[in-house]
Amino acid sequence: MPPLAPLGRRFLARVADWLIVAIPVGLITLPWAFDGDGGLTGGLVYLLVYFVYEGLMLTTRGQTLGKMLLGIRVARLDNGAVPAGNPGWIRAAVYSLPQLVPCLGTLFWLWNVLTCTWDRPYRQCLHDKAARTVVVRAG
């Protein structure tokens, strides 16, 4: 298996993916932004679009666009392959969908993404552990 991806690259890849999804979703949901529930609608649309974006990209390529830009990819822990099928969707779901629960979802998300800073030996976040994946250098 290739070397593990540095945490800095993982973080920057997430920032890139956030921008890749947030900008178009923000522009599309802008008409509802000043509605009574506009912020809620935009947030829900963003989470669902991000979930589908990440799930599709991981199950087909093992990389989101952000991960491609940073030269990293997601691999199955057991064999290093692209996490096609359930592993890719499980990883996307555990990362994105808990945020649908107000407050607790955000706390879970924070715990999830921070676990990779102290997890050994694979630097896995909770979404990696749930899907049995690791993030490695591409190529």
**Is 1 part of a structural domain of the chain?**
no
Dist CA 121 CA 139 (whole Å): 21
For residue range 67-116, list pLDDT tens digits in order.
999 999 999 999 999 999 999 999 999 999 999 898 999 999 999 999 99
**Is 93 part of a structural domain of the chain?**
yes
Backbone angle region of 124, left / alpha / beta, with phi > 0 → left and psi within -120 to 50 → alpha? beta
39-to-31, 43, 58, 106, 132 alpha-carbon distances in Å: 11, 6, 28, 16, 34
Q: How many domains does the chain have?
A: 1
Among 8-17, 41-50, 52-61, the minimum mean pLDDT is found in 41-50
Quote the pLDDT of residue 38. Answer: 57
CB of 123 within 8 A of CB of 3? Answer: no
**Is 2 part of a structural domain of the chain?**
no
**Is 123 part of a structural domain of the chain?**
yes
Residue 127 belongs to what domain range? 7-137
**Residues 45-58: what's their mean pLDDT?**
96
Q: What's the predicted TM-score (pTM) here?
A: 0.92
Quote the pLDDT of residue 102. Answer: 87
